[in-house]
Structure 1
């Protein structure tokens, strides 16, 4: 008899009394609309409504959570269709690699999300295996050929109210404009201003990018013109519906330089002549400048620090970025952010959302900071931490210090379109279980817990991200 995947009681408490409370709370939000204010889905798939090609592209090739573990198990990336060298990989064979290695994903968040997708979208309850790989592939492919499985139909089926993308500052945002003008498309698809490559002088192609930025906005070629060019592009994004600017930095270091020092660093940065110390100063000053701009124009400022991108250079050079070897670092916030917070931390127009992949910073730094500064919010568990147990640890670590209402609401942060409802459902179940324990322990009343459960998926993210 084939092994079957978890039931709808997944992630619920094992204690019967607490489980009943958790199921009650979960029922309040199970079907609530999805707000996704930070993610990486390509808006083109919704604009063109192109059918998904095959199960491998849909569930494996573009999901580095999946490909990284298969690679670690010995499957070459080119056999998974990753990057240009993987072009032309047989999708059935790619699917077979996942099915044959299904046991290796046991206990991971990826397995839970994939199980959810297979069960709710394809009516598949048998665990994938080498023996049933072909049959499951055919079942999924048949569903992909159904018009009801095209991206726009799924957008409606998933109940997505807001979906934010992540976009280059010089993107023309044509896809967003077309979706906003399309009377047949319901929902909001919002761009997000992501200027990292234009702020880091050590980023590849920094000088060329900045020159294009200045040329596009017709600004002067000095530091003042560079800053104004960034302001102009932020205004362009706001005009196209953007509510936030995202910053993926190595460290959340901030500093406020005098104009002459900033101009000197900028001139050397354009020429590629900054050493590591000077480059850090420039990045820190520009993160400070981004906060200043957010105070002025109202864009929510999200900061995603603490990841060493492209840890294995040979893989990066062959397959490109986002291929599974971005590795977390210890991250310090209290001193690094102090210059920014002393200048802007009490400004009512600044909403600063701090994320981390360093669990030690939850209760040590981020929650205490959010418990004082009105502008600062605790970002939801991100990347390696957006998993059930880590979500529970996060709630325990931050709630006693800052409560529920200083957090951001759930952020799915995904490129994998089909995983959006799976990830949000995971968060809703974990929060229901956490709240149920507080109710069972007589620490929160049931009516208050119901309100919090609802607010976590609606009122809180709407407030934090100015939706």
Structure 2
């Protein structure tokens, strides 16, 4: 047995209840427990996420507990910052070259002193699962035991059993997808392929920086895209051809999906002349906000058409006001915890795209939302009729036990289970991956148990669905 697992499993019983997240009512809890036992050991399929492929390519030790759990994790540092703690004091790197704390033990102490802020949050579930199940630390973190916890985890990280590849295998990950820009040379993915390690790590094509006119450096990014693809991307057809070539390159290194983080779900289906006109204004920096929205929307339709040719699944992650704080963006750069959900509509927004390709049976479009009010009103009815559409799981701010349950309750009656795609963890925090999948499996088993005990689902069917939600649907939807 791998180092730390025996200790963590035994002592976790005192801290992590084996029946956590199951219903309180005894008969329903018993069914949930039985369903969970059938899926808890299934391999992890992680079809969308943001872990660093360099970890798996180089297989170097993670540096220390603070730089594993705090510095890169916006779920952690955003909540601490909400209580007035400076991001620099948490070691978050600055874009303006200003001071930031570099002593990891100091950062860890600050985290431990404020650990109470995470009570009843999903982050607390993920952190404690990682502390106990991965590292064998079974005491609740606090200021008094901060050094002891730090030293315990640091000692583990120094051992070969805690390097990225070993953890990948211990976590029982069958496949994991990372996310890269079209301008990425994918050198770490090539290094993984050329190594003697058999772990399956694939990439995903995330073209936001070359399809969004509002993205900083858009014109320079488009020019770089042309250099990489050997195409004249200052012309419309050359620009489209460059996308096709880069998508093929990504597919050669395992990609099965594209990903689009647009401000809204707006789509367009423009003529080539109209699209080229918007494109030229975007390159010159003269397009209006409305022009930018139309261009992004048209590019979703173009990406869908390309998916009909190359079989890449198209993911749409709309509705986040990204980098909401201008001072934080200027000081620290993008993705520093200030992405805020917005109201998002889908019925009118997706109609141009769906008129173009919605009836295509071989196309996979996976829709996500940060606006839960759209689940039963718009998303479930859309996915419940269009062959090309499926619903991604509860995402980001709703990747929580309550959010997952709301997702099932508001979508199943209209879209069923098979118009959803199981679970994906969408995380940068490597050690949270098994915790996140465990939470999803427990919540889904609790929901299925409620259907069984209320007479809406036969128990043998519930076992089939539990395996679908934990494993099979993600593999099918993402063509893994």
TM tier relative to shorter chain: over 0.9
The answer as to whether partners of 2:89 and 2:101 remain within 8 angstroms in 1 is no
Residue 127 of structure 1: CA displacement?
A: 1.0
Q: Secondary structure at the residue paired with 2:349?
A: coil
Taking a change above 3 Å as real, the CA distance of residues 86 and 350 of structure 1, as seen in their structure-2 partners, is farther
State the secondary structure of the residue aligned to 2:210: helix
Distance 1:10 1:116 in 2: 12
Structure-2 change in CA distance of 1:79 and 1:370 (3 Å): same
* Aligned twin of 1:407: 420
| Pairing 1:313-328 to 2, within 5 Å after superposition | 313-328=326-341
Question: 1:382, 1:390 → 2: CA distance?
Answer: 8
Report the RMSD for the aligned CA atoms in angstroms. 1.1
Spell out, residue by residue over 1:210-254, the C-alpha distance to the aligned partner (whole angstroms, 9 max, x if none). 011122222233111111111111111111111000000001111
Using the alignment, how far apart are the partners of 1:438 and 1:458 within structure 2?
20
| Cross-structure match for 1:202 | 214
Find 2:106's aligned residue among 79, 93, 112. 93
Matched residue SS, 2:347 = coil
Is 1:437 the counterpart of 2:447? The answer is no
In the alignment, is the contact (CA less than 8 A) between 1:296 and 1:349 conserved in 2?
no
Contact 2:269 / 2:356 at 8 angstroms: preserved in 1? no
- Name the structure 2 match of 1:427: 440
2:8 corresponds in structure 1 to none
C-alpha displacement of 1:6: 3.1
Kindly indicate whether the alpha-carbon contact (under 8 Å) linking 1:294 and 1:349 is maintained by their aligned counterparts in 2: no
Q: 1:216 aligns with which of 210, 228, 234?
A: 228
- Segment of structure 1 superposing worse, 348-357 or 217-226: 217-226
Please name the residue that 1:233 is paired with: 246
Q: 2:378 aligns with which of 365, 372, 383?
A: 365
1:26 aligned onto 2:39: no
Match of 1:140 among 129, 153, 174: 153
Match of 1:301 among 309, 314, 317: 314
Pairing 1:189–2:211 present: no
What secondary structure does 1:246 align onto? strand
Determine if contact 1:77/1:86 at 8 Å carries over to the other structure. Answer: no
TM-score relative to the length of structure 1:
0.97
Note if 1:292 corresponds to 2:316.
no
1:341 counterpart (354, 364, 371): 354
In the TM superposition, 1:456-467 aligns within 5 A as 456-467=469-480
Question: How far is the alpha carbon of 1:87 from its aligned partner?
Answer: 4.7
1:34-53 to structure 2, matched below 5 A, reads 34-53=44-63
How many residues are aligned here?
Answer: 463
- Give 3-state SS (helix, strand or coil) of 1:203's partner: coil
1:32-85 Cα distance to aligned partner (Å, 9 max, x none): 000000000001001101101111011111100000011111211101010234
Distance 2:421 2:479 in 1: 11
Cα distance, 1:86 vs structure 2 = 5.7
Superposition TM-score, scaled by structure 2 size: 0.95
Task: State how 1:70-81 maps to structure 2 within 5 Å.
Answer: 70-81=80-91
C-alpha distance in 1 between matches for 2:252 and 2:163: 29
Q: Does structure 2 conserve the Cα–Cα contact (< 8 Å) formed by 1:41 and 1:165?
A: yes
Q: What residue number does 2:268 align with?
A: 255
* 8 Å contact from structure 1 (residues 199, 283) kept in 2: yes
Structure 1 Cα separation of the partners of residues 129 and 245 of structure 2: 43
Match of 2:278 in 1: 265
1:349 CA drift (Å): 2.3
2:402 to 371, 389, 411: 389
Aligned to 1:351: 364
Report whether the alignment pairs 1:114 with 2:127.
yes
Name the SS for the 1:9 alignment partner.
coil
SS in 1 for 2:226: helix
Shift of 1:137: 1.0
Where do 5+ consecutive residues of structure 1 fail to align?
Answer: none
* Equivalent pair of 1:251/1:331 in contact (CA under 8 Å): yes
Contact 1:302 1:352 in 2 (8 A): yes
Q: Which residue of 1 aligns with 2:166?
A: 153
1:88 Cα deviation (Å)? 4.6
Asked if structure 2 preserves the Cα contact closer than 8 Å seen for 1:190 and 1:241, the reply is yes
Q: Distance in 1 between matches of 2:168 and 2:324?
A: 34
Partner Cα distance (2:366, 2:295) in 1? 22
In structure 2, distance between residues paired with 1:117 and 1:8: 15
Partner of 1:375: 388
Instruction: Measure, in 1, the Cα distance between the counterparts of 2:382 and 2:479.
Output: 21
Q: Contact 2:90 / 2:101 at 8 angstroms: preserved in 1?
A: no
| Distance in structure 2 (CA, Å) of the matches to 1:456 and 1:276 | 40
3-state SS of the aligned residue for 2:66? helix
**Structure 2 gaps, min length 5:** 1-13
Residues 46 and 424 of structure 2 are in contact (CA less than 8 Å); yes or no, is this contact kept in structure 1?
Answer: yes
Matched, 1:54 2:67: no
Matched, 1:124 2:137: yes
Cα distance in structure 1, aligned partners of 2:307 and 2:193: 24
Structure 2: how far apart are the matches of 1:246 and 1:167? Answer: 9
User: Could you tell me how far apart the structure 2 residues matched to 1:371 and 1:86 are?
Assistant: 52
